[in-house]
Structure formats: structure tokens, C-alpha cells
Amino acid sequence: MKNNIIVVSNLVKKFKNFVAVKNVSFNVKKGEIFAFLGPNGAGKSTTIKMLTTLLKPTSGKINLDGNNPQKNKDLVRKSFGIVFQDPSLDDDLTVQENMQYHAVLYKVPKELRKERIIDLLKFVDLYERRKSMVKTFSGGMKRRLEIARGLLHHPKILFLDEPTLGLDPQTRNSIWKYIKDINKKEGMTVFFTTHYMDEAEKVAQNIAIIDHGKIIIQGTNKQLQSKTKTSSLEEAFLSLTGIAIREEEINDIDRMRMIRRVH
């Protein structure tokens, strides 16, 4: 138990008409890279929102680095960094201003701020562009900036909700390189969701698959494959969740134009 940085037990989230998360329990070990997989609409983002204090669970327990996200919001918020599924940068501010805003909000000490921002921007290859407005950036550049921003306050846990969605293989590779690097160097726990099974196969030490609001299997990539008698994670995933196509979520552009109604 001591080694678990995230402990979720019997988590339930009900909205008006349906239950998005049904009695979910899982643990994430300190320092590991944990993949949280599932088809569209399975309950991934809802779970992440509850883990990150943005949504109140209907019932169940969450423990994040020793704290309850609903009771000790600020402590929990300081302990994680998050890269949301959809963009969350201010397009009318420069790269540096977006970083400064975050640093102030997360109370990064003034004397560390400048140095860390420079280091992180160099790390994601955006230092040269630090004075550019974010609106001039491509999707991949924005993603890299969001990751740099998420790391600014040295979180113990990094949540990544489909961090590589819509990115080319080059950018995906470099993003994962950064993340694995930091995970090794700083022992930072990484909790991510993705639809790219090869990514999960390559980077995750532990995997949980959620479908229809329930965790259907949990273990290492090898365990998942041997349990399902398949030879790749993608096959394992399909054999567990079926091949029927799920209701599409709205795409990114729609998401920007429209608020996702929570119901």
C-alpha cells in the first residue's frame, strides 16, 4: 500500500441520465508509468477529472499522494500536473506569459521561476519561440508547451489525457522521449490515456482498461496478452472491449466551439 501514490476504491460518478463511472478501483505505484485505456466514452476523462479535483465523485474513495482530492483540494492540486485532452492555453498570450501565469498560480518561488521556465522551454524546443503568441503555433507545438507547463511546478504525478492525439509520429516520439526522461530522472509518476495501443505497449509499466464505466482488466502488457491469449495489446484490447464502434465523441474543433455539457 505504501508504494501506491494513487489509490482509487469503489469510485462512482452519476450524471443526471447515466452512470459514467461504475464502482472503479485501481492503484498506481509511485514512479510508474500507468496507462488508462478504453474506447471513446468509457469513462476515462471523467475519472481523470475526479482524480484532479475538477469533478466531485458521487461516491467512493480517492487517495492521491496521501490526500483526498475533495477535502484537501489545494494540496492535491499542488501535487499533480495535467495536460488536458483539449487545448488549455491562452492563445493571446506569449509562450513565456503562459508559463509565468502557471508559475505564479502554482506558487513556484520567484527565484526559481525564470530558470525553470528557460530550462523547460529548451527541453521541449520552444525556447527560441518564447516571445511568440501561442495562436501562431501548430498543434504539436501547443502540446509541447502544455507538457512543459504541466511540469513547471515539479509535480509528483503527471496526468496526460490523450497527450498525443492528432500529432505526427515525430512529435509523438519526441513527447514520449521527454516524458520517459523525466519519469526516470525525477521518479515522477505518469498517468496517461491514449488510443494508440503501441504507445501504451512501449511506455506503460502497468495498464488498466476501462469500458462502460468499469475496469475490465488490469496488469502489465504481458499479463494482459497472456490473459486474453493474444499477441499484441491492440488485439487484447479489441478482444476485451469488442469490435463494435462506440459513439463518437465530438472532435477538437467542435469541442472548442462548444462547451461539453456535463450530463
Partner 1 sequence: MSTIYILWLRQLKKYIRSRSRIIGSLGQPLLFLFAFGFGFGSIFQKAGQGDYIHFLTPGIISMSVLFTAIFSGIDLIWDRQFGFLKETLAAPVSRLEIMIGKTLGGATVATIQGLVVFTLTLFVGFRPQSIAMLPVAFLFIFLTAVLFTSLGIAIASLLEDMQGFQLIMNFLVMPIFFLSGAFFPLNDLPKPIEIITRIDPLTYGVDGLRESLIAFSGFGIMTDFIVLFILTIVFLLLGSYLFEKVQI
Positions that interact with partner 1 (CB under 8 A): 49, 52-55, 73-75, 77-78, 82, 84, 86-93, 97, 100-102, 104-107, 149, 256-259, 261-262
Decide whether 63 or 230 has the Cβ nearer to partner 1: 63
For residues 191 and 28, the answer to whether their CB atoms sit within 8 Å is yes
Q: Write down the least CB distance from residue 240 to partner 1, Å.
A: 30
Q: Write down the least CB distance from residue 74 to partner 1, Å.
A: 4
Spatial separation of the C-alpha atoms in residues 4 and 26, rounded to whole Å: 10
Contacts from 162-165 at CB under 8 Å and sequence distance 24+? 162/85, 162/193, 162/194, 162/195, 163/83, 163/192, 163/194, 164/194, 164/196, 164/199, 165/85, 165/194, 165/195, 165/252
Decide whether 77 or 172 has the Cβ nearer to partner 1: 77
Q: Write down the least CB distance from residue 220 to partner 1, Å.
A: 30
Q: Write down the least CB distance from residue 90 to partner 1, Å.
A: 5
Decide whether 75 or 238 has the Cβ nearer to partner 1: 75
- Cα distances (Å, whole numbers) of residue 252 to 26, 132, 256: 29, 23, 6
Decide whether 157 or 200 has the Cβ nearer to partner 1: 157
Q: Write down the least CB distance from residue 15 to partner 1, Å.
A: 11
Helices (H) and strands (E) in the chain, counts: 10, 9
Decide whether 67 or 206 has the Cβ nearer to partner 1: 67
